[in-house]
Amino acid sequence: MKLCVIPGDGIGGEVITAARTVLTTMLPEVTITEAEAGWHTFQQTGTALPEATLSAAQQADAVLFGAVASPSHPVDGYRSPIVALRRALDLYANIRPTVSYKVVPGVPPVDLIVVRENTEGLYAGRERLEDNGNTAITERVVTRRGTERIVQQACTLASQRPRRKLTLVHKANVLRVSDGLFRSIALEVAQQYPTVTVEELLVDTAAMHIARSPERFDVVVTTNLFGDILSDVACIHGGGLGLASSANLGEQQALFEPVHGAAPDIAGQGIANPLAALGCLVLLFEWLAHRHTDTLTYHLLAQSLRAAIATTLREGPFTPDLGGTATTHDVIQAILDRLF
Ligand code: NAI
Ligand code: MG
């Protein structure tokens, strides 16, 4: 297996170094190519996603990505490398699972997946200024192909889960054209999955329900920006950003990344929670299990790491985001001790 590793900025490097240690212990035969991207790279080379990084990613089976620090103010020549990578590799499905990290008696457990369209919507990159810089326009792109494939992916996932429930989230009452198309194609596609129960929610109502009663959700499918926001809301129920992992899936390749960013407030202190990055390895093993002949090996690796993470979430050590005082290194040591 050829893996391209892109640590990025801030705690991206810290959690990816940690994940690399665990990965090479569990799968010594993995071939790793390390490549650079992000704000630091932009400042040094003038581009946030160098050609060499893009080609390393294209040549790998999969990519493990840390986080990058994208400035919120416009910077000439800077574009978010993760958004660019998702588009360049055509990783159209962003899969963001949330599972309750603690079982609390009397509280229904959460087990939901946000399936976010990853290549179009408001993140299609079609932005411009008009009227001498006094009007800003961002185009929202929804295509039949883009919608069909994301909803197929979501329906397939839902049909393999015990509850077989799909929630279609949109704002078609206001965004009549773009979400109108998304909604009608999604309903058309969902009809081809008779075992899946489909419900629809407007995005604002969906946000309230995900915050208040997340246990009612199974698989949620939506457009790019809505999925970005709703999955961050959902991840609170899974123990916060330090535990949220995601997979970006294409036809051939996949990219795995923690949902969190570069966390400048804690970068360099050695206290970043590495469990979101380790959760990415679980998703990587599961993805490999699906596409490989050596299915059993990868299933066992996923199972073993998932169990080590679960034990660590019960017994510690805990990094400060989970109320403890442990370092990234302490957590990794505990995980290594609990593997196999
Ligand atoms: P962030 O996710 O970096 O941090 C939000 C809060 O969560 C911070 O208080 C941080 O300390 C905490 N946190 C995040 N991950 C953690 C971890 N593993 N362990 C412990 N605490 C953790 O989001 P923020 O602050 O909005 O953005 C910071 C920078 O990251 C920005 O430049 C932004 O553009 C970038 N970013 C990059 C993403 C990516 O590369 N995919 C995603 C989100 C933000
Ligand atoms: Mg986000």
Write out residues with Cβ below 6 Å of ligand 1. 11, 15, 67-70, 82, 241-242, 257, 260-266, 272-273, 276, 319, 321
Residue type at position 114: V
Which parts of the chain have pLDDT scores under 70? 340
Backbone dihedral angles phi then psi of residue 202, each to the nearest 5 degrees = -70, 150
CA-nearest residue, atom 25 of ligand 1: 263
Q: Return the best residue to mutate from 14, 260, 319 for the ligand 1 pocket (most ligand atoms within 8 A of CB).
A: 260
Matching CATH number, 1-91+250-340, of 1.50.10.10, 3.40.50.2000, 3.40.50.2300, 3.40.718.10? 3.40.718.10
The phi-psi region of residue 164 (left if phi > 0; otherwise alpha if psi is between -120 and 50; otherwise beta) is left
CA–centroid distance, 275 to ligand 1, in Å, is: 14
Domain positions in the chain:
1-91+250-340, 96-244
Ligand nearest to the CA of 328: 1
Decide: 20 and 5 in contact? Cβ < 8 Å. yes
- pLDDT value of residue 107: 85
Q: What is the model's pLDDT at position 72?
A: 87
Q: What is the pLDDT of residues 196-248, one digit of tens each?
A: 999 999 999 999 999 999 999 999 999 999 999 999 999 999 989 999 999 99
Q: Which CA distances in Å does 254 have to 225, 288, 303?
A: 20, 10, 20
Known catalytic residue at 228: yes
Please tell me if the domain spanning 1-91+250-340 has the same topology as the one spanning 96-244.
Answer: yes
pTM, whole model, 2 decimals?
0.93
- Residue of 205, 208, 217 lying closest to 115 (CA atoms): 217
Per-residue b or e along 117-137, where b marks 16 or more CB atoms closer than 10 Å to that residue's CB: bbbbbbbbeeeeeeeeeeeee
How high is the pLDDT of residue 146?
Answer: 97
Smallest-distance ligand from the CA of 14: 1
pLDDT score of 139: 97
- Structural class in CATH, domain 96-244: alpha beta
Q: What is the distance, to the nearest Å, from the Cα of residue 74 to the centroid of all Cα atoms in its chain?
A: 24
The Cα–Cα gap between 248 and 32 comes to 19
Counting from 1 in the atom list of ligand 1, the atom nearest the Cα of 11 is: 18
